[in-house]
Amino acid sequence: MKFIIILLFSIVYPQVAIANELHDSYMKYRDGYYKNDLSDMLAMISKENLEDIDIKGVTTSPIKFDLQFPFISSITTSLVKELSYFETIDETLGCLTVNGLSADYAPITISLKYILEGGYWKMGYVKIEYLSGYSDFAKEAVCPRA
């Protein structure tokens, strides 16, 4: 019975991720940030963001990591209370949009582009958007563009 429901869900909503893969990756990144596990965090970033990077430098210094990846680093401090999220997954591209509140209770949306590399979803681009009101929260996953 479960198989039929999942199959039907996949046919009706082919772009919707059933297992929340991207959100799980996002939460793992947040956890790594709080634990200051720079190597794990770096492993979650796509190759396109790692060109010309001093890998040893960014994995040994939180300051260098933050300077090298300002938007990725500010995810955890920008959105402090998650309210909802949406994700879509294609064959090699995924999009995650998270709605929530900033530290001063302002509405904020973070959209992340994920790229499938070596069987793992890796963060590509990140867009952090401070909203004018709660009615402006995203209602679907949006992929940020460079």
38 within a domain of the structure (yes/no): yes
101 within a domain of the structure (yes/no): yes
**Strands, E assignment, 56-92:** 81-89
11 within a domain of the structure (yes/no): no
Q: 19, 12, 89, 9: which is closest to 1 by C-alpha?
A: 9
141 within a domain of the structure (yes/no): no
Number of independent structural domains in the chain:
1
104 within a domain of the structure (yes/no): yes
142 within a domain of the structure (yes/no): no
- For 1, 11, 12, 32, 91, the CA distances from 8, given in Å and listed in that order, are 11, 5, 6, 36, 19
The half-sphere exposure of 119 on its side-chain side, counting CA atoms within 13 A, is 0
- CATH code at position 118: 3.10.450.50
110 within a domain of the structure (yes/no): yes
Q: What domain range includes position 124?
A: 16-136
Q: What is the pTM of this model?
A: 0.77
Q: What is the pLDDT of residues 26-41, one digit of tens each?
A: 888 888 877 877 778 8
Q: What is the pLDDT of residues 34-80, one digit of tens each?
A: 787 777 887 888 888 777 777 777 777 778 877 777 777 778 788 99
Quick one: tokens of 28? 């793992």
- Beta-carbon contacts of 48 under 8 Å, excluding residues fewer than 6 positions away, are 115, 124
44 within a domain of the structure (yes/no): yes
